[in-house]
Amino acid sequence: MSVKDTLNFKQRAPVERMDEVGLTATAFNELLSTLQRSFGEIRSSVGNIDHSMSEMSSNAGEIAKSSVHQSEAASSMAAAVEQMTVSINHVADRAQEASQQTRDASARLPRKAARLC
């Protein structure tokens, strides 16, 4: 079986002599060793990327949950501010009415005092 057929980069060509054929077999074996190391590094990098992607996916889910909670909190805060605004306007209206009643009473007081004298 050949490396081409099995894609087994652990196989090596036999080097029986150091002539041109032997040197070619040695160079081929070195190429296979380099490819084997490169594929191992690629496999390791893919594993690291897969792990990082899993963490990123998990983090994105947590960020989405936090965003929902923040949105709900902001909506609650807006409702509370609206209620306070209505209450403040109500108090302001009552204060204006009280002020007007005080002015009216103050305007009538001199006439009533004059009648008593």
Q: Where are the domains of the chain?
A: 3-116
Q: How far apart are CA 103 and CA 95, in angstroms?
A: 12
Per-residue model confidence as pLDDT tens digits over 54-97: 999 999 999 999 999 999 999 999 999 999 999 999 999 999 99
- Of 52 and 11, more confident: 52
Q: CB within 8 A of 42, min separation 6: which ones?
A: none
pTM: 0.53
pLDDT at residue 2, rounded to an integer:
80
30 with 9: CB under 8 angstroms?
no
What is the rounded distance in angstroms from the CA atom of residue 32 to the CA atom of residue 14? 13
